[in-house]
Amino acid sequence: MNFELSEQENLVREMSRDFAQKELIPRAKQHDIDETIDPDIFSQLSELGLMGLTIGEEYGGAGMGNMELAVALEELNAGCASVGVTVSVHNSLLGSPITKWGTDEQKQEWLPRLATGELIGAYCLTEPNAGSDAAAVSTSAVQDGDDWIINGTKIFVTNGEWAGLCLVYCRTDTTVSNANGVTAFLVPMSSEGATVGNKEKKTGIRGSSTTEMIFENVRVPASAVLGEVNAGFKIAMDTLDGGRIGIASQAVGIGQACLDASVKYAGEREQFGRPIAAFQAIQFKLADMSTRLEAARLLVRKAAWLRDNGQVCTQAAAQAKLFASVISNFCADECLQIHGGAGYTDDFHVERLFRDARITEIYEGATDIQRIVISRNLLS
């Protein structure tokens, strides 16, 4: 068993860390205030190859795996979680399913444009009545000759404001219920009738775009079907395995930023004539944060390794997502406590980390959904 990153993985990590330190940390507060991401960041991400990190080289991507994506996302999210989730969704929830399930024609048409960042990808699964019960989608796709007509509204769509291509899950067979009768469609947002609805005002990751996506009589050709008709739900669940590794990586990155900030502040802040780092109460907090973060990091890398090696990673991804998101919030809480009243102000970025961490226990499968996934695997 080898716990060392490969040379390539280390290079990706160092590149991502350098970019986060130089470009993301200085802009993260403004992203939060403006509730958007500086457009220049997207250009830089594309130039570094991070928008096409897991897309094959034959399509203009870097041709790397989930492990490289995980280490990159950890570093990006330590700098700015709004940017981190944008890159995660683009790679794991759109680039990945096209790579795995797409036809040669679909790959040729979409992957090169995703790899260069010409198009930003979005994943449209959640609906007002289909959240944790993802199989209850009601957005419809009705066949009309060789085409399909899509009608419905998706909510909480990450990257919605910037999306050029969406993976949209629709009910195509109303005679069956739940997971059966769902089909995945690749829908360009240039399609007539496809519009961006309300933009959510969020507690955290405010720089990322979270919107409604509205589809009114959107006509797409038969070639827009990803995979097979009425077999889209298995694509959704398989894709979420990769997505959960991405969000677990985000959680570790936010947690690491909390630990780093805590170590720095504890060494600088003096009370009772000495740095607060000299007090055992603070030392124990730092020790617990570090130990739990390292355990979360190892769970993430195990899940990424399994997925890269073609092994079933559903349980491992759920365990990584569950544990890392809980620990991220633990670290954010301890970090705020160490900073005291100062941490509750916007003089430090601690309060933003505290807000950003909270979403990791909610999206791409809430904490209790991960527990259901894990227990079902244990009991099956």
Report pLDDT digits (tens) over 165-201.
Answer: 999 999 999 888 778 999 999 999 999 999 999 999 9
User: Residue 237 has what pLDDT?
Assistant: 96
CA distance 367 to 380: 20
Kindly tell me if the per-residue pLDDT of 67 is higher than 90. Answer: yes
% of the chain residues with pLDDT over 70: 100
What is the Cβ-side half-sphere exposure of residue 20, based on CA atoms within 13 angstroms? 25
> Does a structural domain hold residue 294?
yes
Same domain, 116 and 197: no
Same domain, 55 and 185: no
At a CB cut-off of 8 Å and minimum separation 6, what does 89 contact?
121, 122, 123, 158, 159, 243, 246
CATH number at residue 250: 1.20.140.10
Kindly tell me if the per-residue pLDDT of 1 is higher than 80. Answer: no
Same domain, 114 and 127: no
Same domain, 31 and 106: yes
Residues 58-85, mean pLDDT to the nearest whole number: 98
> Does a structural domain hold residue 2?
no
Same domain, 15 and 114: yes
Confidence tier at 2 by pLDDT (50, 70, 90):
confident
CA distance 146 to 69: 38
Confidence tier at 15 by pLDDT (50, 70, 90):
very high
Residues 215-223, mean pLDDT to the nearest whole number: 98
pLDDT digits (tens, 9 = 90+) for 285-295: 999 999 999 99
Domain termination residue (choose one: 120, 140, 161): 120
Task: For residue 133, give its domain range.
Answer: 122-233
> Does a structural domain hold residue 210?
yes
Same domain, 105 and 142: no
> Does a structural domain hold residue 281?
yes
Domain termination residue (choose one: 233, 264, 293): 233
> Does a structural domain hold residue 265?
yes
User: Residue 81 has what pLDDT?
Assistant: 98
How confident is the prediction for the chain on average, in pLDDT?
97
As given in the structure block, the two tokens for residue 165 are 């291509």
Same domain, 97 and 19: yes
> Does a structural domain hold residue 1?
no
Confidence tier at 129 by pLDDT (50, 70, 90):
very high
Number of domains in the chain: 3
CA distance 49 to 12: 10
Same domain, 78 and 114: yes
Same domain, 144 and 200: yes
Residues 353-379, mean pLDDT to the nearest whole number: 97
Q: Compute, in degrees rounded to 10, the torsion defined by CA atoms 285, 287, 291, 297.
A: 70
Domain termination residue (choose one: 217, 233, 249): 233
> Does a structural domain hold residue 329?
yes
pLDDT digits (tens, 9 = 90+) for 239-270: 999 999 999 999 999 999 999 999 999 999 99
CATH number at residue 54: 1.10.540.10
Strand bridging mode 182-188 / 140-144:
unpaired
Q: Confirm whether 270 is a catalytic residue.
A: no
Same domain, 52 and 175: no
Same domain, 101 and 150: no
Same domain, 269 and 367: yes
* C-alpha distances in Å from residue 229, one per residue of 141, 143, 163, 182, 365: 10, 11, 24, 7, 25
Residues 154-162, mean pLDDT to the nearest whole number: 97
Kindly tell me if the per-residue pLDDT of 229 is higher than 90. Answer: yes
User: Residue 179 has what pLDDT?
Assistant: 87
> Does a structural domain hold residue 347?
yes
User: Residue 44 has what pLDDT?
Assistant: 98
